[in-house]
Structure 1
Amino acid sequence: MNQHIALLKHNKTIRILALIQLICYFGAWFSHVGIFTLLINLNAATWMIGLTAASAYIPSVILAPFAGVIIDRFRAYPLFFIFMFIEAITVILLLLVDSLEWFWFLQLMVFIRMGTAGIYFQVEMSLLPRILSKDDLKIANEIHSIIWALSYTLGMAFAGLFVAKYGVYNSFIFDFLIYIVGIALLIKLNLKENKKSTQQKAIHMIVQGFIYLKNNPFLIKLLLLHGFVAVTTYDTLIGILAKVNYKEILSASLTIGVLNTIRAFGLIVGPFVLSKFVNSKNLFYIFIAQGVGLISWGLLQGNFYLSFIGLFVTGLTTSTLWSYTYTLVQNVCDSKFYGRVIAYLDMIYLGIAAITSILVGFLYDLGLPAWLITVLMGVHFIIAALYYTKNIYHKL
C-alpha cells in the first residue's frame, strides 16, 4: 500500500488521472444501474438485457484498429477532452428513453459512450508506459484496478439506493454532472508530450500494427491470457439473479447494487493482499483461486446471503489478474506500437466480455440455471491456468 500512496503523492499526472478516474467511474455506475433498472421496469426481454450488457463491450472490438491509430498519431491531452465531452453528451441523452420503442436508441447511446470511454482508457494506458518506469507501471496499473473497484463499490452501493429513491432519470443527470467535474479537472493536467510526427497514412498504420503482432506470437499469447480475465463479466448474470432468483428479497436495483458491492469489496482488498505475492511463478495459482471462487459462488447462490461469501472470494483475485496480465503486455510491447497493441488488447478483452454477456443470457434461455452457468465460468479459469503454464510461464 505504501508504494501506491507514494506514487500518487509524488507524481502529479498520476494523481490527477486517478482522481478523474475515481469520480467518473463512480458516476458511471449510477447510469449503469439506471439503465438496467429501466430495462427491468419496462419488462425488457432477457435478450435485451444481455444485448445491452454486450453493447458496453462491442464498440471497442469494432473500433480497435482505428482507435490504435488515433492514439499513436495524436497527443493524449486533447484526446482526453474530446472523448470525455462525448461521453457526457451521450449520458444526458438517455433522458429521452421512456419505453422499449427507444430500445435501439439506447443501444446507440451505449455504443457511442462506451466506444469513446474505451478509447479514453486506451489513451491513458498507452501514456503510462511512456512516462513511468516498469516498477511504477505495475503500481499504476494496480492503482487503476483499485480505483475501479473502489468506485465500483461506492458507485454500486449508492447507485442502487439513489435509483430506488430518486429514480432512473435522476441517475443519468447525476452522471452527467460528474463528467462536467471531470472535464474541469482535466484543465489542471500538465502533460509534457512530444509532438507525434508520424506522417504515415491510417491504413498503413493499421496494416503495420497487424504485421507487428503477427511477427510477435508470444505477445499474442499474452493478449489472449488477459482476455481470459474478461469472463468475470457478470452484468447479465447479476441481472438474471435480480430479476428471477432474488426478486422476492429486494427490488431489482437494490439487488444489483448489493451483489456488485460485495464483489467490489473483494476487488479492493485483493490487490493490497496479493500485490507483493503475485509474480510469474505463482500466477497459475491465482487463476486457480479465481476459478474456485466462481465455483463456490455458483454453489452458494441458492441462499442470497451465503452467496456473498463466494462472490467476495471471486472478487479477491480479479483485480490482480487484470492488472498483472495487462502489465505483462505493456512491458513486452514496443513503444512505437503502444496505442495499436493496447487497442487490440482491449478488443480481445471486451470481445470476450461481450460474448460472455450474450452467452450467459443464451444459456439461461436454454434452461441452464444461473448457478450452473457460474460454475462453468469457474471451470474456464481452471483452463486459463493450464493455458498460462503451457504457453507463457517458461518464456517470461
Structure 2
Amino acid sequence: MSKTKFILPALKSRNYRLFFAGQGISLIGTWMTQLATVWLVYSLTNSALMLGVVGFTSQIPSFFLAPFGGVFVDRFSRYRTLIGTQIMAMIQSLALAVLALTGVIQVWHIIALSLFQGFINALDAPARQAFVPELVEKREDLANAIAINSTMINGARLIGPAVGGLIIARIGAAYCFLIDGLSYIAVIAALLAMTVKPWKVTVSQGNALQKVKEGFVYAFSFPPIRAILLLSTLVSLMGLQNTILVPIFAEEILKGGAEALGFLMAASGVGALSGGIYLATRRTILGIGKLIAIAPAILGVGLIAFACSRYLPLSLFTMLFVGLGTILQIAASNTFLQTIVEEDKRGRLMSLYTMSFLGMIPVGNLLGGFLASRIGAPNTLILDGIACIIGSILFFKQLPALKKLVIPIYEQKGIVKPVGAAR
C-alpha cells in the first residue's frame, strides 16, 4: 500500500492521466514501427551499413534542429505544438503503411520518411519534455510524473516489440506501420480532451540564434548540467548502437528470425520497465547522482555480455541489463535536469538534452553500422560496452564536487531541507 502512494501522486492530475493513457497506447505502436523498420531495411538490403544509414536519417534532424525547437517551445504553446507534431507523425506512419501494403516500398522511401520523422521529433521531443510540468497540479509531483513517463515508455517498449515481432512473422511489417498510424488517434484525442491554461505569450529580447546561445551558455557554464549532458552524449553515441544491430544478432548469430528479434527487444523492455518502476517508487531526488553514474556501467556490462552470447536464453538475460542501464541513465538524467532548471529556460535545456540524447543516436547508428560492416556486430558492441564503463568511472569521480554545487539549488527550491542536505 505504501508503494502505491509513491506511484500515484502525478496520476491525481486529470491532464496527466489523459496524457498517460493516450501516450501509453500510441507508444506501443511507435515501438512496433521501430522494430518493423529495422527488420524491413535488413530484409531488403541485408546490410549492416544500411541499418546505420536509416537510423542516422531518422535522428540527425534532432542534432541540428533541437536547439531551435527549444527556443520555439519556450516562446509558443507546448500544448498546440504537440497536437501538430502528433498529427504529422500519424501521417508519416500511415504513409509507410500504404507503401508497404501495396508492395512498392523501397529503401529510399524508408530513408525519406525516417528523415521526415526526424524533423517532427526535433520539435516534438523538447515540447513533450517541457509540457510535463504543465500537466501536474502540484509541483512536488513532477519527479514522480517523469518517472511514471519512463515506466510508460518502457511498458510500451516491452509490449510493442513482442507484439510487433509476432505480427511481422505472421502477416508482415506493413501491419505494424498501420497499427502505429491508427494509435496516434488515442494521443490526439487525449490532448484535445485536456483543460489547459491559456499560454502566456512572453515578449523576449533577441533573435532565435541569441536565445540558442543563451541556452548553451546556461547549460555548459554550470558543471553538473554540463557533466550530465556529456555523459548522455557518450551513452547515446556508443551505448545505444545495439538498437540497430540487434537484427543481425537475431538473424545471423542466434538464427531466430523476426520472433527472436521481438523477444530480444522485449527483454530489453523488461529491464527498462523495472528501472522505470524503481524510479517511480523512489521517495526522494537525493542519491540520483549515484544512479546516473552507475547506469552506464550496467549498460556497458550488459552490452559486452550480449555481444559474447551465442545462446538465445542467455542473450535475453543480458538484454535485461541493457534495458535497465539505458532507462536509469535517460530517466534519472531527465529528472535531475527538470528539477533544477530555471523555468524560462526549460524548453532550451530540454532541447539540449534531446540533442545530447536523440541527436547523438544517428551518429552512433552510422558509426555502429560502419564498424559492424568492418569488424562485425559482436566486436562493435564490446567496444561500445567498454566506452560506457569508462564514462561511468569518469562521472563517478566528479560526483562529490558536483553534489556540492547542486545541494544549494535543492535547498532554494525547497526540495530538501538544509539539515537533510548536510546528512
Same fold (TM over 0.5): yes
Describe how 1:228-239 pairs up with structure 2 within 5 A: 228-230=234-236, 231-239=239-247
2:249 to 229, 236, 241: 241
Q: Secondary structure at the match of 1:351?
A: coil
- Pick closer, same or farther for the CA change 1:208–1:270 going to 2, 3 Å: closer
Determine the structure 2 residue equivalent to 1:289.
Answer: 298
Which of 249, 274, 280 does residue 269 from structure 1 map onto?
A: 274
Instruction: Give the Cα separation in 1 of the matches to 2:168 and 2:190.
Output: 27
Cα deviation, 1:35-56, whole Å, max 9, x if unaligned, reads: 2222233234322111112233
**1:1-396 alignment to 2 at 5 Å?**
1-3=3-5, 5-94=7-96, 95-96=98-99, 102-129=106-133, 135-200=140-205, 201-230=207-236, 231-247=239-255, 250-251=256-257, 253-273=258-278, 276=282, 279-281=288-290, 283-299=292-308, 301-368=309-376, 370-396=377-403
The one-letter amino acid of 1:190's match is T
Q: CA deviation at 1:161?
A: 0.9
The farther-off stretch of 95-104 and 204-213 is 95-104
TM-score where L is the length of structure 2:
0.84
Query: Alpha-carbon deviation of 1:376?
Result: 2.1
Deviates more, 1:121-130 or 1:65-74: 121-130
1:266-301 Cα shifts (integer Å, max 9, x gaps): 1112233465395334543444333322222223x2
Which letter does structure 1 place at the counterpart of 2:341? C
- Give CA deviations for 1:309-341 in whole Å, capped at 9, x if unaligned: 211133223222211111222223221111111
| Residues 214, 289 of structure 1: alpha-carbon distance in 2 compared, 3 angstrom cutoff | closer
Asked if the contact 2:341/2:349 (under 8 Å) is kept, the reply is yes
1:87-117 deviation per Cα after TM superposition (whole angstroms, max 9, x unaligned): 0111111122578984333212112223313
User: What displacement does 1:233 show?
Assistant: 4.1
Compute the displacement of 1:169 (Å): 1.9
Instruction: Tell me how far apart the structure 1 counterparts of residues 179 and 292 of structure 2 sit (CA, whole Å).
Output: 39
Moved more, 177-186 or 206-215: 206-215
The CA distance in 2 between the partners of 1:318 and 1:49, in whole Å, is 21
Structure 1's unaligned 5+ residue stretches are none
Moved more, 329-338 or 123-132: 123-132
- Secondary structure of 2:164 counterpart: helix
Percent identity over paired residues: 25
- When normalised by structure 1's length, the TM-score is 0.90
CA RMSD across the alignment: 2.5
Deviation (angstroms), 1:170: 2.1
Greater alpha carbon shift after TM alignment, 28-37 vs 211-220: 211-220
CA contact (8 A) 1:64 1:346 kept: yes
User: Which stretches in structure 2 are left out of the alignment for 5+ residues?
Assistant: 404-423
